[in-house]
Structure 1
Amino acid sequence: MGGLALVVTVIFAVIAVASAVVLAVMLVARDRERERVARRDPLTQLGNRRMLTEAADRLLGDLSDLDAVDGNGSHGPALLLVDLDGFKDVNDTLGHIAGDEVLVEVAQQLVASAGSDALVTRLGGDEFAVLIRGPINVSGASVRAKRILGALTLSEFQARGVSIDIRASIGVTVAPQDGRTLSDLLQHADIAMYQAKRERAGVATYDPAFDDHSTDRLETLAHLREAMLEDQLHVRYQPVIRADDHTLTGFEALLRWQHPERGLLLPAEFIPIAERTSLIHALTRWVLLTAVRDATRWRQEGLQATVAVNISPMSLEFGLLGIVEEVLALHRWPAELLVLEITESAVTDNPDTARAVVGSLRDRGIQVSVDDFGAGFTSLSQLRGLPVHQLKIDRQFITQLERSPSDDAVVTSIIELGHRLGLSIVAEGVETEATAARLVELECDDLQGFWFARPMIASEVLGWASEHAASRTTSAVAAAAASAAAATAAVSGPVD
């Protein structure tokens, strides 16, 4: 019996040891899985920021050796920052589940096109980072970025049976010349990526010269947020005049920023910066509310006129419809008296979204105008399929109209094209009587420019409109008198 007890004891001991070993293995496996999950993006299964940090730290720790390979220090690892352009429209149109499906497809395409020596990670949202081990120089990193961009552009992504075109902007940095830490590389890649967006270039390599612009951009952005709260933003109004009889038809709302240190700033000095962030949507709403509020007051005083507001390409998305409906309802403003001006780039950059949004606006009764027409690259097929009401000829063709036969030919062609498509034509930048007269000959519908009036503040509009109406009446009386005198002379014949 004593021997049997010993055997049983040994068996239980072996079982206990085996169980402990199995448990230890399971715990190790669990910990490894936790570590794996902690380094992975749960949606795309790409590496996350933690994995990127660990990999970059290992590579950047060897920079001294890489410097010895190339005296100019341009053969370190490269970091590419990839940001999808206009991806918010996918979520807004198809929903976030469909958007997630597209992000998974994009992640797979990035891995396939980045190369075997690259780590692709998702930083969040629609932003990805590609860490290329190297050795690689700036030229090689730029070529790799263009290859990635081409793969994204040429691929057809699907979500809920809908084909989606993906465009991206990529900022390129190479260590150690662009930074010796991941933080520096990410910051500089973000600056380069913003430059790519601003220039619509697709890919941009970091240039230290961009830093000044970036610093100014951040400061301007911070001050712009303050400006909206401290009444530094103002809207000026420039009249739009019917060409044939100079009747006032409407006003264009022009945003200005009375900066406390830099003076009066035009939109070109701050709108591109706001377009980089969601602040552009707040600005769009503010201008719409202000312009329609002012126009409502004029209408209450008997002035019937349209009001036109410029819409950033970044705001031409389905969320714009809600903002417009809010503004119309708040001021009980007739939809047909609101004109939204969009640029050619808004049409060419995302034609499908532009067509859908513009169609919804038109169904609501709102007029849509293509601003600065002729300065961009809107194709005739895109224009034909876009449900707009109006074309505004870019001022660069109007200011030299009297002296440039080529500009005259361009303007003539645009007016004829627009009329054949059933669109009205506005010429902006009219600064002389001769220019206005030539546009009347070409049967342009409406005119706008300094020849009639400079942009004015809201409180000046009613007075100007009254003076303009009186001037038109005086001119009409004078013209009628001259016509009658000429007719009398013709009947009476010459006087000896």
Structure 2
Amino acid sequence: MHYQPVVDLTSGKVVAVESLMRWQHPILGLLGPNRFITLAEDCGLIRQLGDWALGRVVEDAAVLIRQGLELDMAINLSVHQLDDEIVAKVHGALESSGLGPSRLTVEVTESAFLNDEGITAEMCEALSRQGVKFAIDDFGTSFSSLLRLRQYPINALKIDGVLVAGIGKSADDEATCDSIVSLARAVGASTVAEGVETTEQYAVLRSMGCQRGQGWLWSPAVPMDQLGAAIAACEGVPVAERQPRMPRVPEAVSHAEANLIVTMHAEGSSTHDIAAALNRSAGRHPSGVRWTAGAVARGLPAPVTS
């Protein structure tokens, strides 16, 4: 098992680690899970690997806490592990290690979540009753609905690294990341950005209100005996300053109107004052009615708490 630190984007402190399995192949070298998990699922070894990983992860998490590192631990579950026995296995592993259930987060990919036929929901509810947290991994590449998300006790949405990589390059990817943060807020969940590699991505994510991040900007996944040094290195990375969030003005507004919205927002004007100024200069929203404070607010960035 390797472990990747997860950083609080406001404080810069490491608050959790994600466990990630590696295979030391005799010819190909060290392989990540994308190279062998599907193979393990196809040949029926995934449950044995999963049982071993669960035992190792909770034991290592308990060791970290005894060392004074009060960190949450995340473990990924394959859809093939989501059977009737998984809740008992998690309970048994926690009992034998002495790790408190609130320190463990179970991650399931969004695709597995969408293909749920009942077992994921039952597993999620049962683990939640034990005190274990639940996160949806690789979020943003499929099509989860707000209604569906509200039916589960979800603690976190993990923004897919493909979308994070698009920050500063793709307006669509950046808007999707922003939407995921808003969606998580709507269902009472936090957000974790995966694959953060640049200070620009860090600053934009923090400005959006994303709470946590992980990636090579701080540290790759490392073996247990290197985790202490990796955590120290992570906390040496400067905290990124929030960037001003520009309003998303409707496409049909004129250049002058867009400038007015952006300028007045930057000056701290209220949405009522912006709407009044727009009505004096233009008189009509692109929809054909007069500008209102609500119409202005829908285009402004959501407020972010520290």
Residues 71-118 of structure 1: per-residue CA shift (max 9 Å, x gap): xxxxxxxxxxxxxxxxxxxxxxxxxxxxxxxxxxxxxxxxxxxxxxxx
CA contact (8 A) 2:222 2:230 kept: no
8 Å CA contact retained: 1:401, 1:435: yes
* 1:181-192 correspondence to structure 2 within 5 Å: none
User: Which residue in the other structure is 1:462 paired with?
Assistant: 228
2:140 and 2:83 mapped to 1: Cα distance?
23
Contact 1:336 1:367 in 2 (8 A): yes
Given the alignment of the two structures, is residue 249 of structure 1 paired with residue 33 of structure 2, yes or no?
no
Per the TM alignment, residue 318 of structure 1 is displaced from its structure 2 partner at its CA by: 2.1
Larger Rg belongs to: 1
Please give the secondary structure, in 2, of the residue aligned with 1:282: helix
Match for residue 341 of structure 1? 107
Secondary structure of 1:249 counterpart: strand
Give the alignment partner of residue 158 of structure 2, picking from 383, 388, 392.
Answer: 392
Correspondence 1:431 to 2:197: yes
- Kept after mapping to 2: 8 A contact 1:362/1:368: yes
Which whole-Å CA distance do the structure 1 matches of 2:9 and 2:16 have between them? 13
Q: Deviations over 1:251-285 (max 9, x none)?
A: 00110100112222221221112213442111111
Query: C-alpha distance in 1, partners of 2:229/2:35?
Result: 30
| Structure 2 residue aligned with 1:318 | 84
Distance 1:307 1:286, change over 3 A: same
SS in structure 2 of the partner of residue 238 of structure 1:
strand
CA distance in 2, matches of 1:376, 1:286: 30
Question: Cα gap change, 1:437/1:392 in structure 2, threshold over 3 Å: closer, same or farther?
Answer: same
Secondary structure of 2:69's match?
coil
Q: Is the CA contact (8 Å cut-off) linking 1:393 and 1:411 kept in structure 2? A: yes
Contact 1:351 1:382 in 2 (8 A): no
Gaps of 5+ in 2: 242-306
Please state if 1:410 is matched with 2:193: no
Q: Contact 1:298 / 1:462 at 8 angstroms: preserved in 2?
A: no
- Distance in 1, matches of 2:234 and 2:39, equals 37
What do the CA deviations read for 1:375-416 (whole angstroms, capped 9, x no partner)?
123233321212211100111110121111111111111100
Given that 1:316 and 1:346 are in contact with CA atoms closer than 8 Å, whether structure 2 keeps it comes out as: no
Preserved contact between residue 393 and residue 425 of structure 1 (Cα < 8 Å): yes
Deviations 1:337-379 (A, max 9, x none): 0011001122221242211110000000001100001112323
Kept in 2, the 8 Å contact 1:391–1:418? The answer is yes
Pick from 287, 299, 322 the counterpart of residue 65 of structure 2.
Answer: 299
1:54-453 aligned within 5 A = 235-453=1-219
Counterparts of 1:247 and 1:421 in 2: how far apart (Å)? 25
> How many residue pairs get matched?
240
Alpha-carbon spacing, 1:412–1:351, altered in 2? closer, same or farther (3 Å) = farther
Contact 1:296 1:331 in 2 (8 A): yes
Contact kept in structure 2, 1:243 and 1:445, CA below 8 Å:
yes
Cα-to-partner distance string for 1:456-496 (whole Å, 9 max, x where unaligned):
11001123324545x37xx69xx9xxxxxxxxxxxxxxxxx
TM-score, normalised on structure 1?
0.47
Cα 1:277–1:350 shift into 2, 3 Å: farther
| 1:152-184 deviation digits (Å, cap 9, x = unpaired) | xxxxxxxxxxxxxxxxxxxxxxxxxxxxxxxxx
- For 2:107, what is the secondary structure of its paired residue? strand
CA RMSD of aligned residues (A): 1.7
Structure 1: unaligned runs, 5 residues or longer: 1-234, 480-496
Q: Letter of the aligned partner of 1:455 in structure 2? A: A
| TM-score normalized by the length of structure 2 | 0.75
Task: Measure the CA separation in 2 of the matches of 1:344 and 1:396.
Answer: 14
- Give SS of 2:118's match: helix
Whether the aligned pair in 2 keeps the contact of 1:347 and 1:382 (CA below 8 Å) is no
Contact map agreement 2:178 2:208 (CA 8 A) in 1: yes
Cα distance in 2 between the residues matched to 1:458 and 1:439: 28
Q: State the AA in 1 paired with 2:150.
A: R
Aligned AA for 1:392?
Answer: K
Cα distance between partner residues in 2 of 1:467 and 1:412: 28
Q: C-alpha separation between the residues in 1 aligned to 2:64 and 2:228?
A: 7
Indicate if the aligned counterparts of 1:313 and 1:345 stay in contact, CA closer than 8 A. no
Tell me the amino acid that sits aligned with residue 133 of structure 2: Q
User: CA–CA distance in 2 between the matches of 1:270 and 1:280?
Assistant: 10
Deviation at 1:326, TM superposition (A): 1.6
Deviations 1:196-239 (A, max 9, x none): xxxxxxxxxxxxxxxxxxxxxxxxxxxxxxxxxxxxxxx11111
CA apart distance, 1:314: 1.1
AA aligned to 1:403 is K
* 1:431–1:449 Cα contact (<8 Å) kept: yes
- State the secondary structure of the residue aligned to 2:21: strand
Separation (CA, whole Å) in 1 of partners of 2:161 and 2:229 = 27
Q: How many Å separate the matches in 2 of 1:327 and 1:455? A: 23
Alpha-carbon separation, structure 2, partners of 1:467 and 1:413? 31
